[in-house]
Structure 1
Amino acid sequence: MADTTPPIIGLAGGIGSGKSTITKCFNKLGIQSVDADDVARLVVQPGSDCLSNIHQRYGDRILLNDGNLNRSALRTIIFNQPEERLWLESLTHPAIRDEIKVQLNATYSKYTLLVHPLLFETNQDAICKLVVVIDVPAHIQIQRVMNRDRVSQESAEKIMGTQLSNSERIERADLVLENAGNIVEMNAKVFKLHQNILELLSC
């Protein structure tokens, strides 16, 4: 039986690069998306094996009063103790990968956008037909993270330090999307990129 799963187009960009906004532009064009950040939240929901293991390792301090994961507490642990970040990744990355596969198999648009901040770091680029990388200056990323997550500049820089740099991602990209300007300009850029992707997929 022929594989009817749509081609996968990776959308890679570091934290604060504007992935969510850009994804919505693609969604408006009828392109479905699977977001690794959403999946990462899904696999640690109350009752999940991942959250149970995290709780067992760190105790009640890692849970909010309602039983959900205390992301702020976990962030403090993993960015101050690199070995703990590696442990967490060894636990969550396989679960995230499996759930991404499930969600990708349920899509049916002309192609599916796989939105992933660690696309290359987790080797998920291997399942992508093409990879689009978002290019945004590092100082803008840091400011966005500080404003959005209410963290210090030092914390924002630590998070970025666990990811590839923009230049490293761009070197491995098939297509680059500059995230500068307003939303109207971004919609126009995404429409042009969408047409380009369709042309490349038809080759």
Structure 2
Amino acid sequence: MGNGLTGPILGVTGGIGSGKTVVSDLLHNEFGIHVVDADVVAREVVAPEQPAFDAIVSRFPESLSPDGTLNRLWLRTHVLPDDERRKWLESITHPAIRQSIVAQLASASGPYRVLVSPLLFESGQAELCDATLVVDAAERQQVERAMQRDGNGAALIQQIMSKQWPRDKRLQAADFIIDNTGSLEALHKATQRFHHRYVQQLSSSAQ
């Protein structure tokens, strides 16, 4: 694999509120799988004193919070819905995010490593992965769960969803799918089953 990475790397994604973070957290906490979270990396690269932070504040002074950090809610509300502004922001953040992700994945080990990202396909990060897993939920469930989790209104959630791949396109691109239309307990069991099958598959292919 390019970028100095050697497999196996599993990309985990899903629409907003689909449960992808629950899955990646379970893989890490129960099975010790190293997880690189693209959302966490995205926050790290725009921390104060980082080059991306300086560029964003210079372009959008209103995005600077009183505590000296970026106001991410302001960015979600005033930048992401605007295609021109969003593309500019992505041109600043995506290269920095990718560089950090590659470095973190390269330094990790284990039976496989996970890159969890809401824009795995859209951003091209799937190119870093040997296989992809989509955590799937009905769009109505995505909206309800995201509203409960973040306290945002349905309109903002819908805007975010409109910037992500449609559900059917995401499912068609997936190598593996976990159904999260049921309970949290069912999601845990499905994730455990997937892990054991995937490790077995990797072991068999290595022989």
Give the TM-score band, short-chain normalised.
over 0.9
CA distance in 2 between partners of 1:80 and 1:109 (Å): 39
State the shift of 1:10 in Å.
0.6
CA contact (8 A) 2:5 2:105 kept: no
State the shift of 1:79 in Å.
3.3
State the shift of 1:5 in Å.
4.2
For 1:104, the equivalent position in structure 2 comes to 105
CA distance in 1 between partners of 2:5 and 2:127 (Å): 18
CA contact (8 A) 2:79 2:85 kept: yes
Consecutive unaligned residues of structure 1, counting only runs of 5 or more, are none
State the shift of 1:4 in Å.
8.4
Cα deviation, 1:161-186, whole Å, max 9, x if unaligned, reads 00001211110111100113333322
State the shift of 1:187 in Å.
2.2
SS at match of 1:79: coil
For 2:22, the equivalent position in structure 1 comes to 21
Cα deviation, 1:17-37, whole Å, max 9, x if unaligned, reads 111111111111121110100
| Inter-CA distance 144–134: structure 2 relative to 1 (3 Å threshold) | same
CA RMSD, aligned part only? 1.5
Cα deviation, 1:87-143, whole Å, max 9, x if unaligned, reads 000110000000000110111111001101111111111221111111100011111
CA distance in 2 between partners of 1:53 and 1:4 (Å): 29
State the shift of 1:69 in Å.
0.5
Query: Does 2:52 match 1:50?
Result: yes
For 2:177, the equivalent position in structure 1 comes to 176
Cα deviation, 1:176-201, whole Å, max 9, x if unaligned, reads 00113333322221111012212322
CA contact (8 A) 2:64 2:70 kept: yes
Consecutive unaligned residues of structure 2, counting only runs of 5 or more, are none
CA contact (8 A) 1:33 1:115 kept: yes
State the shift of 1:6 in Å.
4.5
Greater Cα offset, 48-57 or 14-23:
14-23
TM-score (structure 1 length as normaliser): 0.93
CA distance in 2 between partners of 1:189 and 1:91 (Å): 37
For 2:151, the equivalent position in structure 1 comes to 150
Total equivalences in the alignment: 200
For 1:199, the equivalent position in structure 2 comes to 200
For 2:167, the equivalent position in structure 1 comes to 166
What percentage of residue pairs aligned between the two structures are identical?
Answer: 38
For 2:140, the equivalent position in structure 1 comes to 139
| Inter-CA distance 21–75: structure 2 relative to 1 (3 Å threshold) | same
TM-score (structure 2 length as normaliser): 0.91
For 2:37, the equivalent position in structure 1 comes to 35
Counterpart AA for 2:35? S
SS at match of 1:17: coil
CA contact (8 A) 2:11 2:115 kept: yes
For 2:93, the equivalent position in structure 1 comes to 92
Counterpart AA for 2:39? D
CA contact (8 A) 2:141 2:181 kept: no
| Inter-CA distance 140–196: structure 2 relative to 1 (3 Å threshold) | same
CA contact (8 A) 1:6 1:109 kept: no
